Structure 1
C-alpha cells in the first residue's frame, strides 16, 4: 500500500469515528430547542385565539 491509500483509509476511519459522536451532544439541545419552539408557538396560537374571540 502506498501513502495515498493509507491516508485515505485513515481519513475514512476518522470520519467514521467522528460521525456518531456529534448527535450525542447535539441531540439533547436539539430536542430542548424544538420543545421550546413548540411551547412558544402554542402560546402564541392561544393568544391569537383569545384576541379573536374578544
Structure 2
C-alpha cells in the first residue's frame, strides 16, 4: 500500500471515473503517481518535495 493521502485520493477518483467511462489512461495515471510520489512511510509526500 502506498500510504500518501494524495495518491490514495487520486487513485479513488481514477477508479470512479474509469467505472463511468473506461479508459486505460486512468490506470496509467495511477501507476505514474505511485512511482513519482514517495510513499508516506518513507518520509515522502507533498510536504517533502523540494521547492526550486
TM bucket, shorter chain? 0.3 to 0.5
| Structure 2 length-normalised TM | 0.35
Higher helix share: 1
Higher relative contact order (CA 8 A, sep 6+): 2
